[in-house]
Chain A
């Protein structure tokens, strides 16, 4: 669908105000031109936002949690040697830029794609990447529509900080900044569209890192993914006064795929206890969280 729903919007936007490659296009706007820097960690570079736009999601606790999760898993990622990495909903570009700095570029054997449904986000992401001397192909589309067919089974690392805030369904996917967070019922509307696509795009050895909110019912998301043959682990858990975030990593588990098939015929609703038990230290918070939600 890329282009079909999306391009007409761009053309409109383009008609009045061409997207200049210069990062200074917004300089007049004091509020938007301040370079904001975010400390990643001593091990990695700081990401400087050279550009922003009132309709583009600025890096926030969820973005930091996702990058912290990638940093926490950095050694595994480096060993994993991904060839293709993809971010869905790249916003400011903070996450994909961090990942590209962390894992290196084509010279290190890695290539990056990022998509967003918001044309301003596409532009800001390109500028953020460029300011840090890294490259990703940034594409304007709904989730991955135009890439879905050809990238099937090719993506080794996928990162997503989706719009996850519970909102009325009709706020999902609207123009403007609301589409950065509006997640519909239980905040699951966009997430539930993304997961089957992730399953389709991930390579046999593919990993998915996704941010979720307690209200999204992450344990149910993990059970759903388990039925598709994915194991999961919480890499980062973070609670603020307003929200409780988890960054969950999913990967295909061959044993699980066999086991799940056998299990689903017997008892579809059984909670996989042996799985929960192996995760007790990390899941302690989670069970109480999922009960109350």
Chain B
């Protein structure tokens, strides 16, 4: 599962008022190359919850993203976009679980 997807998921358990973001329990992560497209990234940037992405990337062992939500001028920087690209599309949670931040309920993730 890509971090783009993680960024779009929230826990929908009855009674949970804020099920986003889900915590990651990473047993195995992989990186798969995806063709770089700056326009796609600029489009996605506004849809992404930045902090959730930074934290998720960090739990996958990738700490290159700036902690602070970058302002839009960063979207002209290839260096920034490449990092964003890698975190958003190339890192995969292969095996592990997503955990509801309120109830602690685990949603297993496996590659198949």
Contacts and interface: CB of A to CB of B under 8 A. Distances in A.
Contact of A2 (B12, B37, B110): B12
Given A83-B44, A106-B89, A111-B40, A123 B112 contact: yes
| Residue of A1, A2, A107 ringed by the most chain B CB atoms within 10 A | A2
Given A14-B110, A123-B112, A137-B2, A151 B12 contact: no
A253 to B, nearest CB: 23
Contacts, number: 85
Interface residues of B, number: 32
B5 interface: yes
A149 interface: yes
Given A3-B11, A11-B108, A126-B112, A109 B40 contact: yes
B12 A4 contact: yes
B9 A18 contact: no
Interface residues of A, number: 35
B71 interface: no
B91 to A, nearest CB: 13
B9 A146 contact: yes
A149 B40 contact: no
Nearest to B2: A137
A221 interface: no
A139 B37 contact: no
B5 A145 contact: no
Binding site secondary structure of chain B: loop
Contacts of B107: 2-3, 7
B63 interface: no
Contacts of A106: 34-35, 37, 40, 89
Interface in A1-46: 1-4, 7, 10-11, 14, 18-21
A137 B11 CA distance: 17
B8 interface: yes
A19 B95 CA distance: 12
A4 B16 CA distance: 12
Interface of B: 1-2, 4-5, 7-14, 19-20, 34-37, 39-40, 43-44, 47, 49, 89, 100, 105, 107-108, 110-112
Given A14-B108, A150-B20, 13 more contacts: A2-B9, A3-B13, A3-B107, A106-B37, A106-B89, A107-B34, A107-B35, A107-B37, A109-B37, A146-B12, A147-B9, A150-B7, A150-B49
